[in-house]
Amino acid sequence: MLTTGYYSSFQNIEQIIKHFYDRFKVERTTFQNHFQLQDSSLSRQEQEQLASLLLNRLMFIYFLQTRGFLDGDRHYLNHHLQRTCHEIGRDMFYCSFLPLLFQKGLGMPTHPPHIVARLGKVPYLGSNLFTLREFEYREPALLIPDAAFKRLFTFFDHYHWHLDEPLSREKGSITPDILGYIFEQYVNQQQMGAYYTREDTTAYIANNTIIPYFFDVLAQKIPTTFADESPIWQLLQNTPERYIPEVIASPHYLPDETPREYLQRRNRYTTIRECLSTGQVKQIDDFISYNLHITCFARDVIYSFSDPALLLACYQQLTSITILDPTCGSGAFLLAALRTLFPLYEACLEQLQKHDAMNTLLPRLSQWPYSILKTIITNNLYGIDIMEEATEICKLHLFLKLLAQVETIEDIEPLPDIDHNIHTGNTLIEYIQQPQDIYPTSSHLEAPSLQEHWQQAFTDILAGGGFAVIIGNPPYVEYTEQTFPYSLNHFHTRVCANLYTCIVERSQQLLSPQGRHGMILPLAAFATKNMQPFLEIFRNWFPVSWISFYHFRPSMLFSGGKVASIPTAIYLTKSHGQEQRFSTHLIKWAQEQRPLLFARLSYHQISAPRDPLNRHYYPKISQQCENLILSKVLQHQPISAYLSRIPNHNTMYYRTAGGLYWKVFVNFPWPYHTTSNKQCFFREGYERDVFVALYNSSLFWWYYTITFDSFNLKDYMLFGFRFTYPDNPSIVQQLQHYSQQLMEDYCRYAKHLKRGQTGSYTIYARKSKTIIDAIDTILAQHYGFTPEELDFILNYDIKYRMGLLPNTDLL
């Protein structure tokens, strides 16, 4: 088995985090319930914010104390809780000790003797780390009893706190990544539209935007080294296997792989290897298109250089890459960017230190990890978020990455001031210092024009043309002028009525003309009519794009349970170059295969023409035969031409809800009434059963999958499908014949469930696959498909549609 150990480790991490968070929710509520407020001016929301603020800061302290950075005491907080109670009195820990630690100890460069006597030997981390919030000033008399802290520390002590990644994941190991997970989970996901983006997703987007930009700029500045015919591409010819993901190269069956999929993967491996070994890959974009090990290649390129001037140029270019997450949350994408950049910095420094003349310009070897991380945090990373708590967690997480490189308290330096990098503010209204809420409220406030604040925040970057790379996961929140305290009239995409389209538009405005861009959005952005204005302008903004598409069953990209069950799309773009569009099929996977998800991505270039009558979609395809099939389908008439507005007996019945793997259409009324029951009428002379057969076909399922969001079934999705009614009577008769057989089969296997006065009627279409295959064979004749194209349609999505995997919804 290729993935057993990897999956086991991945699963253990997920389980530890989930177990911690389940307990954390209870402890946070209990902790907040201990607050003793008298005539408080704090709202319930502010009390929740205060509780979260304290918990985040205490977890930060836990990471420090377990490393021995607080007076050498690995149980520092517990011991000082007891000491404060003994020396000062009960219930004085919050108002007496913690402010002293946060403001005078960790926040002051020098410590008078009386501070040392109270706190012991603690490091100075910086004056802005634990800045008091406005509501903390308003509630100076808040009392939190010692019992609240005792219970909280008992909970924390059940876990092993590691500043850096432990060599082995022992049971109960917690790393700083928990901070982001907790924040993204407890915000109201439906209102805020915020979902926790896992590390594999953020890494994929960061790697495939930052590294291509790095190569783009170097190719312009040093074309002899980075141009198409330069020696660096010889690395691919010499060792092609090094850059092909192991999961693609494996000669063994993967755990969930069918024989057909195995053959496709092996053929793909052969094709990719041939392209690499024969020198056909000469552009960094090909690493995205072929889904190769782009970080490995970037490091190998740097290690292949010996010229100190060339290495210094690479290093200087790295330090100038500006990366923005315009809705950064707790910093998941910025941390991914840090992980992408670190090995490239490291490779440059390792090569430069071989030259004596460069040693005076470089940090000491022992300081490399710390100095590299500090350079990245201060030079490369920028973020904005509407929630002050989010930006504080982001900063804390970045600082913990720095502190993980320090061995002793004496080695700790004041943390860098990154207030100019990580801002609290509303990206949409260009306001940073005093943000209006980005989310709905009952009041309608006027937001001032604040272009000056953006210019002040990022003056040099914007003057230089904009950010080099913009990545992130914007909020998925519906927008109306009535429920939001500001107008979005200055955005072209406001007509789509969702914040995420405006965030993408803002990102495009802030992106350098030579920049790279990548985000994760709802799949609907590329597959529904209400998002058509966004898709059309997206094509204009970004002439080159790679989009991968992800279903939500049997597994989903986001964490967060049912509320996060939405189909998604990841796009990677650049705003320059000749138009090229790449796509994947709609990807479905079982949870145990998640560690291999991105390594198995397979892009294909879209060559089929756009449908002038259906401009709402970006096709989800992964094979050349799909381009050919779509091109043939688009030569036909839309089915809307055969509809009758007047009810008649020529009626087809269907449902708009349900059917994750099958859409069912019948020629008889549904036995039970539901709000999703629908019907349509065809004009006289066009047999209803021909259309019933067509819509039950695997061909229509394929078309529906590649052109829509896999979530809805609206009229335009049905009747925009193209099918010229056959002139050949034989085709009409055969389709009618198989349609009738199919209806009989549906009725034979249907399941009735009676519930009082109502009931359900479930059709198991998979049991009738043989008849459906016969329908597709007739349709292939009508559309002019080749045997290869018909074979593709007959087997499309068959693993999930036929229930060949466990836990697959067959309806």
Looking at residue 272, its pLDDT comes to 99
For the chain, domains (ranges, CATH) are 4-175 (no CATH), 199-228+283-605 (3.40.50.150), 633-801 (no CATH)
433 compared with 628, residue with greater pLDDT: 628
452 compared with 696, residue with greater pLDDT: 696
pLDDT in tens, 791-804: 999 999 999 999 87
d(C-alpha 387, C-alpha 395), whole Å: 13
Looking at residue 127, its pLDDT comes to 66
d(C-alpha 728, C-alpha 686), whole Å: 13
* CA dist list (Å): 371 to 312, 349, 363, 374: 16, 11, 7, 5
Looking at residue 12, its pLDDT comes to 64
Q: Quick check: 144 and 158 in contact, CB under 8 A?
A: no
Looking at residue 760, its pLDDT comes to 85
Percent of the chain with pLDDT over 70: 90
Consecutive H or E run containing 665: strand 665-666
pLDDT in tens, 399-452: 999 999 998 999 898 999 898 899 888 899 865 444 444 444 433 333 333 333
pLDDT of 470 above 80: yes
Q: Which residue type does 108 have?
A: M
Q: Nearest CA to 729 among 771, 697, 685? A: 685
Looking at residue 1, its pLDDT comes to 35
pLDDT of 5 above 60: no
Q: Quick check: 621 and 627 in contact, CB under 8 A?
A: yes
- Angle at alpha carbon of residue 446, lines to 442 and 450, rounded to 5°: 130
pLDDT of 329 above 80: yes
What are residue 678's DSSP bridge partners?
654
- Angle at alpha carbon of residue 96, lines to 92 and 102, rounded to 5°: 130
Looking at residue 438, its pLDDT comes to 45
Looking at residue 366, its pLDDT comes to 56
Q: Find tokens 């960061």 and name the residue.
A: 206
Mean per-residue pLDDT over the chain, rounded: 90
List, as one string, the DSSP characters of 733-802: HHHHHHHHHHHHHHHHH-EEEEETTEEEEE--GGGGHHHHHHHHHHHHHHHT--HHHHHHHHTTTHHHHT
* CA dist list (Å): 308 to 3, 296, 312, 348, 713: 41, 21, 6, 10, 60
d(C-alpha 386, C-alpha 328), whole Å: 9
Q: Quick check: 199 and 336 in contact, CB under 8 A?
A: yes
Q: Give 806's pLDDT tier (boundaries 50, 70, 90).
A: low
Min mean pLDDT across 122-126, 467-471, 579-583 is at: 122-126
d(C-alpha 774, C-alpha 452), whole Å: 66
pLDDT in tens, 70-94: 999 999 999 999 999 999 999 999 9
pLDDT in tens, 530-543: 999 999 999 999 99
Q: What is the mean pLDDT of residues 364-389?
A: 88
d(C-alpha 335, C-alpha 327), whole Å: 14
Looking at residue 810, its pLDDT comes to 43
Looking at residue 193, its pLDDT comes to 56
Number of residues that make up the chain? 811
pLDDT in tens, 198-226: 999 999 999 999 999 999 999 999 999 98
pLDDT in tens, 166-181: 655 567 888 998 888 8
Looking at residue 6, its pLDDT comes to 44
